[in-house]
A and B are shown apart, each in its own frame.
Chain A
């Protein structure tokens, strides 16, 4: 029998809900670093989870789901950047709505960080997020991005060089604002 028209979604896989509840915050934060805003981050995470849903049951290694979802996130992000970038460069950002503690310093720090990340090409930005925020190894980062470990090292080194020169980031790197 052929496939049924309109039947497009399999059942919720076992363990999927636990993963989403446990890891969505971390994934969203990675998405925020990649995209620079929460709506896009949420869009990115939902896209990755929706794509992972049908293959969830086939992921056997304990760390496989997160690696798999992050791989989809990064590749989706790179695809979006290829397709969506239109030459516009953001020059300002709206302040975060929610902030606690030293509000202004936090907002400044986030804006400086996002502005610095905006200066990076997409693949360098992805390496920064995977290696230094998601704490993935060079090999895991290479696997997620579909490139060699050498390429990851190269992207990472170039990204660090660019970030080193980003306005306002040097002082943040050596101390600064707590979230």
Chain B
């Protein structure tokens, strides 16, 4: 390089600003899901059969241990693959919920549909793999890469989103009991309402689709189309909430209300200068919290949707992944370089305090509420906090795998055990971890 070239290089590095926010893997996964939903599949190779976990390929010890079971399950796998193919074809033919490219959805509902869930092949080991130095005796019980913050606990099962898929997981051994049919792409965290599990399966400015599944069989029971006004949230995981048989969806500048009994959109009101980044309902079903912009939090009364309060906080972040508890609202703040977790007592952003890792670790920082405590993970600490006061009840260090960070977060609690998403880049392993709930965090 000559002097002039060096000066130009210096200028480019000096003047080019830092981006207001970073691109995340979830953004990319969301984009892939949308492209798939719109039929833009040319860049993504198709799989030859329903995707399944393959721990035995990367971890020979697991594979050897499960060789007999694999052999015995071979017939089941082949049969399952064929069944899933049939399901895919059937579902695809009447899956009216996905917006066609460029089309604007206008209808609010579709006739209830029923389709079979695919049964996941039984290749998951029953013996857990200890995570060295992990808090609360955490052990890896499967290799499912559940998106942190999407793992929720139902009456008998855990539900989580592995990019694009909704998994029903047996908490006893980590086995994926059912996986949603492969014709839709789950982009939001699942929401359990009664005996149904709902998720957003398409989410673009052309429209959104909510899909309901039977909580036990994971068969599809309904598909509801929702129009979207304006831009959609940058963090789709936290755009759906449920209370009182209703679902609430952040639909661009609007909030859509869908009745889970009738499978109809009952209301969509325009009041906000969106896009709405996230929303959450309080545990008692009397409040709906909505975040938008940089950064406003609006509190509505339910079910009337009267505005109760509005608060703002200045800054360069965007609030998302809201979780509501008795004491207030939790969420993440995505800034130029980090995503951190926060708590706003009473839903008042003027009282906002940050919780958990100071540096932030993306999706692993997403707060979750389970077992009477709010959990916030990351790469440094796993924190549980009081849902009423926001006070940190216990903090545990997350180990490092040599020079590589380990990530633990997105906790769901079932009984006396907590389940979390775990990842480490050094060993290139990810999965669901199970650990004991410390007494301080048991509510």
Interface residues of A (CB under 8 A from B): 1, 3-12, 14-18, 20-21, 24-25, 27-29, 32-33, 38, 41-42, 45-47, 49-51, 53-54, 96-99, 106, 109-110, 113, 128-129, 131-133, 135, 156, 160, 163-164, 169, 172-174, 176-179
- For the complex, is B357 an interface residue (Cβ under 8 Å from A)? no
Known contacts A4-B84, A12-B145; is-contact A133 B9 (Cβ 8 Å): yes
Asked if A132 contacts B5 (CB within 8 A), the reply is yes
A88 to B8, CA, bound (A): 27
Q: Which of A54, A97, A129 contacts B20 (CB 8 A)?
A: A97
Q: How far is the CB of B234 from chain A (nearest CB, A)?
A: 9
Least CB separation from A3: chain B residue = B46
| Chain B residues positioned under 8 Å from A50 (CB to CB) | 28, 31-32, 35, 43-44
Q: How far is the CB of B118 from chain A (nearest CB, A)?
A: 10
Q: Which of B11, B17, B27 contacts A32 (CB 8 A)?
A: B17
Least CB separation from B92: chain A residue = A5
Asked if B19 contacts A9 (CB within 8 A), the reply is no
Q: Which of A5, A15, A131 contacts B183 (CB 8 A)?
A: A5
Pick the interface stretch among B47-55, B120-128, B210-218: B47-55
Asked if A3 contacts B48 (CB within 8 A), the reply is yes
| Chain B residues positioned under 8 Å from A3 (CB to CB) | 46-48
Asked if A33 contacts B31 (CB within 8 A), the reply is no
- For the complex, is B15 an interface residue (Cβ under 8 Å from A)? yes
| Chain A residues positioned under 8 Å from B84 (CB to CB) | 4
| Chain A residues positioned under 8 Å from B20 (CB to CB) | 38, 97-98
A128 to B12, CA, bound (A): 9
A28 to B27, CA, bound (A): 13
| Chain A residues positioned under 8 Å from B51 (CB to CB) | 7, 10-11
Q: How far is the CB of B318 from chain A (nearest CB, A)?
A: 12
Known contacts A49-B28, A133-B16; is-contact A4 B11 (Cβ 8 Å): no
| Chain A residues positioned under 8 Å from B17 (CB to CB) | 29, 32, 96, 98-99, 106, 110, 179
Asked if A25 contacts B19 (CB within 8 A), the reply is yes
| Chain B residues positioned under 8 Å from A11 (CB to CB) | 51, 145, 162-163
- For the complex, is B271 an interface residue (Cβ under 8 Å from A)? no
Asked if A54 contacts B25 (CB within 8 A), the reply is no
Q: How far is the CB of B29 from chain A (nearest CB, A)?
A: 7
Q: How far is the CB of A106 from chain B (nearest CB, A)?
A: 8
Least CB separation from B426: chain A residue = A18
Extra A-B contacts (14), CB below 8 Å, given A53-B44, A113-B11: A1-B48, A3-B46, A4-B84, A7-B46, A7-B182, A9-B185, A11-B145, A20-B28, A29-B16, A32-B17, A50-B35, A98-B17, A131-B5, A179-B17
Least CB separation from A33: chain B residue = B16
| Chain A residues positioned under 8 Å from B362 (CB to CB) | 21
Asked if A10 contacts B47 (CB within 8 A), the reply is yes
Asked if B8 contacts A132 (CB within 8 A), the reply is yes
Q: Which of A7, A21, A156, A179 contacts B16 (CB 8 A)?
A: A179
Asked if B88 contacts A6 (CB within 8 A), the reply is yes
- For the complex, is B22 an interface residue (Cβ under 8 Å from A)? yes
Q: How far is the CB of B291 from chain A (nearest CB, A)?
A: 18
Q: How far is the CB of B170 from chain A (nearest CB, A)?
A: 21
Known contacts A15-B428, A50-B35; is-contact A6 B182 (Cβ 8 Å): yes
A51 to B32, CA, bound (A): 9
Asked if B14 contacts A28 (CB within 8 A), the reply is no
A110 to B425, CA, bound (A): 37
| Chain A residues positioned under 8 Å from B89 (CB to CB) | 5
A51 to B23, CA, bound (A): 14
Q: Which of A32, A99, A133 contacts B13 (CB 8 A)?
A: A133
| Chain B residues positioned under 8 Å from A33 (CB to CB) | 12, 16
| Chain B residues positioned under 8 Å from A15 (CB to CB) | 425, 428
User: Quick one: which of B240-287 are within 8 Å of A by CB?
Assistant: none
Q: Hey, what's the 0/1 contact readout for B172-198 against A, CB within 8 Å counting as 1?
A: 000000000111110000000000000
- For the complex, is B110 an interface residue (Cβ under 8 Å from A)? no
A172 to B16, CA, bound (A): 12
Asked if A8 contacts B50 (CB within 8 A), the reply is no
Q: Which of B25, B85, B162, B183 contacts A1 (CB 8 A)?
A: B85
A131 to B13, CA, bound (A): 12
| Chain B residues positioned under 8 Å from A12 (CB to CB) | 25, 29, 145, 163
Task: Indicate the member of B32, B81, B316 with the most A CB atoms within 10 Å.
Answer: B32
Least CB separation from B18: chain A residue = A25
A3 to B36, CA, bound (A): 14
Q: How far is the CB of A51 from chain B (nearest CB, A)?
A: 5
| Chain B residues positioned under 8 Å from A18 (CB to CB) | 425
